[in-house]
Amino acid sequence: MKEVFTGSFTQQEPIPETAIDAALAVMRSGRLHRYNTVPGEAGEVALLEQEFAAWTGARYCLAVASGGYAIATALRALGVGPGDRVLTNAFTLAPVPGAIASVGAVPVFVGVTEGLTIDLDDLAAKADQADVLLLSHMRGHICDMDALMAICDALGLKVIEDCAHTMGAFWGDVPSGRHGIAACYSTQTYKHMNSGEGGLLISDDADVMARAVMLSGSYMLFDRHLAGPPPEAFADLKYQTPNISGRMDNLRAAILRPQLRDIETQVARWNTRYRVVEDGLRDTPGLTLIHRPQQEAFVGSSIQFLLLDWSANRIADLLAACAARGVELKWFGGAEPSGFTSRYDSWRYAPSAPMPDTDRILRAIIDMRLPLTFSEADCALIARIIRDEVLALTA
């Protein structure tokens, strides 16, 4: 009788009791808005920003309503506007090109390698088409950041890092998000801290962050930001920057602060589960694991593998066979968008010429979440099921 997995791929761990207590305290106060504080009180959002800035090593931090809002705000703060072209990964999630389109700019897609990172040769070839690179560390895969920054610095490209899947990751000894002029993180339920929705934007650039604070809807209350630029940074731009309200509230910040204190432990737990699945799939004929460079300290909250040159029907058969045994796989190569998976040619507001090498890889990408509600035994079982079904289809 075939083994079957009975767990849920969407069930997250409960919010920590300390975070629940903090959230209850905010609710009992009634002061959910970030600027609704009493004299001498910083507020949960300002404290979260201060703590996240210290944790990443950034000078400034802004907490906002979502990761996508953080990206769009970073683009606006850099002066990106209608008609501008912005380079970004062909392999990413829809909110990334969506953020570019939301400011009236045009995404220019850069290819993907078999390591699921941005193709640096393609980046160098297209670098003269834009002034900004919105770099998506898609599904937690980090490219050679030293090589990427050398290309961007030489050609004058400003880099915004999308770190939705790399909160807690490093390239060498540099935290993810600390290479570019700004970085954006998500605290949506399936990310590394869970507030349902939420985002964080960091930068060392006082002008960029002052614009971001004003854009987020600070009115003239920017002096209440513990991790914001000094008042003089706002002297001129406070009259010129539109209010596009997208603040984080004290309730979500209260939920996040205890999670931030525990994130290194959570990263280690995710990586243990990742390695169990990776070991279980290793040397499976027809299945290609993703090479992780030694310099990359990643967060294994999901795992990907490639089914290179498989037909669409054969991949659909694998997904169906695994689903029948309780294993939920997602495919980024489908011709039509499905759930959160889609390809660059699905985003018809951002037309692009075909990229055959990238298309071959996108057609092959299989994705699977690894929630911390899975035990190591669960992960081993899941790997056995995937391996069994791949072998059955390659026999």
Query: Where do we find the tokens 């699977």?
Result: 368
Contacts (Cβ under 8 Å, ≥6 apart) of 164: 67, 93, 136, 137, 184, 185, 186, 188, 191
Residue 334 pLDDT exceeds 90: no
112 and 196 in a single domain? The answer is yes
Calculate mean pLDDT across residues 55-67.
Answer: 98
Query: Where do we find the tokens 């979440």?
Result: 369
Calculate mean pLDDT across residues 151-173.
Answer: 97
Residue 1: pLDDT band with limits 50, 70, 90: confident
168 and 58 in a single domain? The answer is yes
238 and 295 in a single domain? The answer is no
Cβ atoms of 25 and 43 closer than 8 Å: no
Last residue of a domain, one of 212, 240, 261: 261
Cβ atoms of 109 and 89 closer than 8 Å: yes
State whether the Cα torsion 215-217-221-223 is positive or negative.
negative
Separation of alpha carbons 62 and 45, rounded Å: 9
Separation of alpha carbons 331 and 306, rounded Å: 10
Write the CA distances from 350 to 12, 107, 346, integer angstroms: 34, 6, 9
Calculate mean pLDDT across residues 36-55.
Answer: 96
**What pTM was estimated for this model as a whole?**
0.96
Residue 44: pLDDT band with limits 50, 70, 90: very high
Residue 335 pLDDT exceeds 90: no
155 and 268 in a single domain? The answer is no
Separation of alpha carbons 200 and 30, rounded Å: 23
308 and 253 in a single domain? The answer is no
198 and 276 in a single domain? The answer is no
240 and 271 in a single domain? The answer is no
Separation of alpha carbons 14 and 20, rounded Å: 10
Residue type, 190: Y
Separation of alpha carbons 367 and 44, rounded Å: 35
- Is 7 inside a domain boundary? no
Structural domain span for residue 321: 263-394
Residue 257: pLDDT band with limits 50, 70, 90: very high
341 and 281 in a single domain? The answer is yes
Residue 336 pLDDT exceeds 90: no
278 and 199 in a single domain? The answer is no
68 and 196 in a single domain? The answer is yes
Cβ atoms of 361 and 302 closer than 8 Å: no
Write the CA distances from 215 to 13, 63, 101, 182, 224, integer angstroms: 33, 12, 17, 15, 15
Cβ atoms of 227 and 61 closer than 8 Å: yes
Between the two ends of the chain, the Cα-to-Cα distance in Å is 19
Q: Residue 49: CA atoms inside 13 Å, Cβ hemisphere, count?
A: 28
How many independent structural domains does the chain possess?
A: 2
180 and 103 in a single domain? The answer is yes
Q: What is the pLDDT of residues 189-232, one digit of tens each?
A: 999 999 999 999 999 999 999 999 999 999 999 999 999 999 99
49 and 108 in a single domain? The answer is yes
Residue type, 353: A
Nearest alpha carbon to residue 78 among 210, 186, 223: 210
